Amino acid sequence: MPLARFSHASCHDALWQATRSQLFLFDADTLHLRDANPAARNGCGHEDGTASSAILPALPREQFDAALDSGAIVSTALARADGTRYRVALRLERVRHEERDAVLAIAEDETAAEALQRVQSRFDAIVSHTPGLVYQFRREPDGRVSFPYLSEGCHALLGMPAAELATHPERFAQLVLPDDRQSYLDSMTSSAGTLWSWNWEGRIWIEAWKDVKWINLRATPHVLPGGAVQWEGIMTNITESKLEQMEVRASRARLAELTAHIEKVKEQERTRIAREIHDDLGGNLTAIKMALAMLAARLPEDDAVLAQKAAYVDQLADRTIDAVHRITLDLRPSILDFGLVAALEWQVKEFAAQAGLACTFQSNEKDVELDPDQATALFRIVQEALTNIAKHAHASSVTVRLHSTRQHVGVKITDNGRGIRAADRAKPGSFGLRGMAERARALGGTLNLSHAPGGGTVVAIRIRRAGPGDGPEAATIRAATTK
């Protein structure tokens, strides 16, 4: 077999230094070790000058010469400095080194190869059982993209073989629906710029099945030499969960719409009953009062018993008129006809008088124009909050603040009581808090409970002003579907 030229300089070139293969250079006649590359020294733990007999493969000379002549790869063992041996795949070549015949032994550690194979087998098993597409995605500084790795889940998820997508990586972006494509590109750019995790979900069109899928993409980026950014991650099909989520949102919107409608009908019925009580009972009681006055004026002056009876009936009529007035106000406060600010200010004064607490009302505007249904619902929420304070807070002072902007109206009710605990919110019979939250949600708004500085509770309600032709049901649907 012809001898390869193997100069001493080439023994120490970049390949000799960097290769992971273990390279040994022996004298062809004596088989004494002349040189070994770094991989060989690390593998055997020997330094230059070590006896070659300790490094030579455990092969008889005849088998050694046969392998040298044929160039065949043989499996044998090499010795380490501590006397242990490790299996290698060995190939021998005749070379010329410094004008002398030499033998180049190229050894590949079979132990490392077997360990690598085991790791690869575990990786393949994990990937094959992963419900999705495991991938590597790379974006070059000039914008070119590629998929260095794609698992076999590519076809099941994207409707095309992994080899096809690897050959035409630009097709992935083309799968994304036009309405979602910009968010996909923006999320990629943001992840590449910040090196934060790339988490995106959107819709893709599967041409093979003429179908739209929702997918979730999660990947971790890192910068490669040369400036390219590479992500390793997984894509999963979230169509079923996404459709369920959308159905839950739609169901929540329908439920909120029904709640808003029920509250509206309830307020309309209260208004009707209040009007009938005021008009019918109030009118009848006024007539009775007038008739009593006429009868009392005609009673004999010396009949004290009848006079006493007449006075009692007159007082009873007065109390009944007061009760009718109170019931009417509870059903539909006529003060709301003068605006929300006036109604809340009146309610706070009434609450202060009834509960015996120091109460203040503040507003950043003298008049707040709201849809009548919104104004009534907001008034009811404040009523319920004040009732809860009287029942449970043990407070000595309460402040109600109304704040209005062009798009939102907010109310904060602050007390200095004992505060509200998490357990209080989750009590099965806590319908007051739930009712307030449902009313706020029915208005397309929010209700938050928090601890007041120095003790107590803050109830914050924030609703969106209804636009032209925009009733509370529409606001409710908008709020429910955007969650």
Provide the token pair at 74: 């043989």
Is 259 among the domain residues? no
371 and 300 in a common domain: no
**Pair 202, 303 in one domain:** no
Q: Fill in the DSSP letter of residue 395.
A: -
Tokens of 237: 């099909």
Least confident span in 113-127, 227-241, 289-303, 305-319: 113-127
- Residue 199 and residue 176 share a domain: yes
The verdict on 327 and 361 lying in the same domain is no
Residue 310 lies in a domain: yes
243 located within any domain: no
Question: The domain containing residue 205 runs over which residues?
Answer: 130-237
Tokens of 3: 């001898």
- Helices 340-355, 372-388: crossing angle, 10 deg rounding: 20
Listed residues 219, 237, 255: the one ending a domain: 237
Residue 187: φ, ψ to 5°? -65, -35
Retrieve residue 200's tokens: 């995106």
CA-based nearest residue to 406, from 467, 475, 345, 363: 467
- At 472, the pLDDT band (50, 70, 90 cuts) reads very low
Residue 471 maps to a domain: yes
In this structure, are 356 and 461 located in the same domain? yes
- N-to-C CA span, the chain: 78
Could you read off the pLDDT of 449-459 as tens digits, one per residue? Answer: 888 888 889 99
Tokens of 223: 């910068």
Asked, for residue 257, whether it belongs to a domain, the answer is no
**One-letter amino acid for residue 311 of the chain:** A
Q: What angle do CA 375, 380, 383 make, to 5 degrees?
A: 130
Task: Calculate helix-pair angle for 239-276, 472-481, nearest 10 degrees.
Answer: 160
Structure tokens at 357: 């607490």
What digits encode the pLDDT tens for the residues 130-172? Answer: 678 999 999 999 999 999 999 888 999 999 999 999 999 999 9
The residue out of 86, 115, 144 marking a domain boundary is 115
Per-residue confidence band for 227, with pLDDT thresholds at 50, 70 and 90: very high
What CATH code is carried by the domain that includes residue 416? 3.30.565.10
* Together in a domain, 372 and 274: no
Number of domains in the chain: 4
- The full 3-state SS of 256-311, as one line of letters, equals HHHHHHHHHHHHHHHHHHHHHHHHHHHHHHHHHHHHHHHHHHHCCCCCHHHHHHHH
Per-residue CA distances from 217 to 132, 237, 371 (Å): 10, 9, 44
Within this chain, do residues 97 and 161 fall inside the same structural domain, yes or no? no
For 6-45, b where at least 16 C-beta lie within 10 A, e where not — what string?
A: beeeebeeeebeeeebbbbbbeeeeeebbbbbebbbebbe
Tell whether 245 is covered by a domain. Answer: no
Structural domain contains residue 377: yes
The answer to whether 398 and 386 are in contact (CB under 8 A) is: yes
In DSSP notation, 81-126 reads TTS-EEEEEEEEEEEEETTEEEEEEEEEEHHHHHHHHHHHHHHHHH
Strands 408-415 and 457-464: antiparallel
278 plus 369 within the same structural domain: no
Same domain, 153 and 200: yes
Q: Are residues 448 and 347 in the same domain?
A: yes
Which of 283, 313, 331 is where one domain is finished?
A: 331
Q: Tell me, what amino acid is at 433?
A: L
Q: Domain holding 161: CATH number?
A: 3.30.450.20
pTM higher than 0.75 for the full model?
no
Could you read off the pLDDT of 343-367 as tens digits, one per residue?
999 999 999 998 898 999 999 998 8
94 and 202 housed in the same domain:
no
Please indicate, yes or no, whether residues 422 and 461 belong to a single structural domain of this protein.
yes
Instruction: Give me the numbers of helices (H) and strands (E) for the chain, helices first please.
Output: 17, 16
Query: What integer pLDDT is reported at residue 65 of this predicted model?
Result: 79
The answer on pLDDT for 250 being more than 70 is yes
The reply to whether 93 falls in a domain is yes
DSSP annotation of 392 reads: I
